[in-house]
Amino acid sequence: MLDGKVVVVTGAGNGVGAEIAKLAAKCGAKVVVNDAGVTPSGEGRDPAVANRMVDSIKGEGGTAIASVRSVSDWDDAHGIIQDAIDAFGRVDAVVNNAGILRDGLFHKMSREDFDAVDDVNLRGVFYVARAAAPHFKQQQSGCYVHMTSTSGLIGNLGQVNYGAAKMGVAGLSRCIAIDMQKFGVTSNAIAPFAWTRMVATIPATPENMKRLEVNRRLKPERIAPLVVALASDAGRKTTGQIFGVRNNEIYLFSQPRPIRTAHTADGWTPETIVERVLDAFAPTYVPLERSNEVFTWDPI
């Protein structure tokens, strides 16, 4: 499905990204395995991580190169795309998968932990996507797949930084789809449900035990087929959407639209809003649920 295409996958040394890179290669793509080799919290650097995955892909008969640059740096992000151009002469798909976690309750969260997560999970997505945009425009084709999360789309305890960044990714993907549509470029987001080394860092508190028990049954390789489908020529009609993948289930998420309105010919005052709007809207308020309270059934 991807014969002749060049696919860049960030955070491809482990977990979901590794499975995407491997399947893309099996489906005929030339793959740029990008991974700076950092810990799940974004510390350290180990170039061997990306190189091991490249060796694995080559061992299966695929074509791949390693890029050990960091998505969180503007120049490095442009270098990732340049690595693809230098090695293979073009770029056809960018999978923005790299991410880190630094969980903590909001009232205890440091600026450093917020900024670090934002730098990788949101700014890094923008940097890499932006680097590919001129190439996509010139060739009048291209595909972006960005990893969002139900931590942002729905909400989770102790993930203000991660949830904010991942909700930002959903908005970023949508606006890229609008801006790049005239150039034949697609942009979609996926909320992956999978047990990875990053998810394994979530504290095993009594509140999190059920969530972690379910997560351990979610296989990262189940995310890859949707990514390949979207990156293929057959996926060119799909853009601006948010999907979820949870083992054998694929979801299409709704996106915010007005669900109730209130109008007055005289304009509103704080008092009339309290009297006539808030109580009227209350029955249709979105409940303050966490992701695991929405996805309550066992993964198939």
Active-site positions read 162
Sign of torsion, CA 123 124 125 131? positive
Hey, which residues does 186 pair with through a beta bridge?
143
**DSSP symbol at 102:** -
> Could you report how far apart the first and last alpha carbons of the chain are, in Å?
26
* 9-25 exposure pattern, b = at least 16 Cβ within 10 A, e = fewer: bbbbbbbbbbbbbbbbb
What would the two tokens of residue 13 be? 């040394």
CB of 63 closer than 8 Å to CB of 5: no
Give the helix ranges, DSSP H, for 198-282.
Answer: 209-215, 224-231, 270-273, 279-281
Contacts of 166 (CB under 8 A, 6+ apart): 121, 122, 147, 148, 149, 151, 152, 153, 191
- In eight-state DSSP terms, residue 221 is G
- The answer to whether 119 and 134 are in contact (CB under 8 A) is no
Q: Closest Cα to residue 217, out of 145, 163, 297, 100?
A: 297
Instruction: Compute, in degrees rounded to 10, the torsion defined by CA atoms 123, 126, 130, 131.
Output: 50
